[in-house]
Amino acid sequence: MTKVRVLLAGETWTSTTFHVKGFDLFSSSDRQSGLRPLLNALHGSDIEIDHLAGEHVPGEFPATSDALNAYDVVVLSDVGANSILLHPDTFLRGQRTPNRLAVLADWVAGGGGFMMVGGYLTFQGINGAGRYKGTPAEAILPVEMLVHDDRVEIPEGFHPHVISSRHPTIAGIDGGWPYLLGLNEVRPKQEGEVILTTGAGAGNHPLLVAGRHGKGRTLAWMSDIGPHWLPTPFSDWQGYAQLWKQSFRWLARRS
């Protein structure tokens, strides 16, 4: 069985908490990851994830097509454009470095698979801080991004609505889809194929859109990989693993 090799960049963060107890103040920090549900779902499958944690993206995200050729699929999940555009040699030392989003776009045009996953720092994200609008990443995705904060919080939940049931990414996923709690708002491009939406009750926002760029394939999933937008009932659902496996296989042109 030939593995589908996936580079997934992002999905980690560090939280710092200040504790005030009467006269005294102290702080604590911890590192967190949102990737565990996905890794559990893919365990033992033909999908092999190489995780590049968010804190390592600026220095280690591939800068050449040859380096990207180690993978079939590249996924950006909850990591902003600055982390890819600003290599430490540029940000700290004022040196010229490759535009790695442009390198990624060229690699996809040559046959690679690319997926952007929603979150507070993908698409435009919180306060527009994701900053993918106008970049080569937007140019190759099947959706157009907004110019401002694009988060849509739906705390009451919504159930994905199927538009294209025969698309290989969701083929065979039967039964009711569990609820999600939010997503990034985008506009599908004319050439994009809308596969899932939020449904009319939640604004009919695109949720999963497929496209092509040159010889490569692209996907935009506007919700999350795990909490908070994608809660435990969704990741525990058997369709969760099927959705991601089939999405990666389709991006890798295995289906």
Name the pLDDT band for 175 (thresholds 50, 70, 90). confident
Position 1 pLDDT exceeds 80:
no
> DSSP character for 150?
-
C-alpha pair distances (Å), 123 with each of 112, 163, 168, 225, 252: 20, 22, 24, 14, 22
* 173 contact partners, CB below 8 Å, separation of at least 6: 239, 242, 243
Structural domain count, the chain: 1
Write the CATH number for 192.
3.40.50.880
Do strands 151-158 and 180-184 pair parallel, antiparallel, or not at all (unpaired)? Answer: antiparallel
By C-alpha distance, which of 113, 137, 251 is closest to 186? 137
Is residue 184 within 8 Å of 200, Cβ to Cβ? no
Q: How many CB atoms lie within 10 A of CB 147?
A: 9
The answer to whether the pTM exceeds 0.85 is: yes
Q: Provide the residue range defining the domain that includes 71.
A: 4-251
Name the pLDDT band for 121 (thresholds 50, 70, 90). very high
Mean pLDDT of 219-228: 96
Residue pLDDT, tens place only, 51-104? 999 999 999 999 999 999 999 999 999 999 999 999 999 999 999 999 999 999
Name the pLDDT band for 174 (thresholds 50, 70, 90). confident
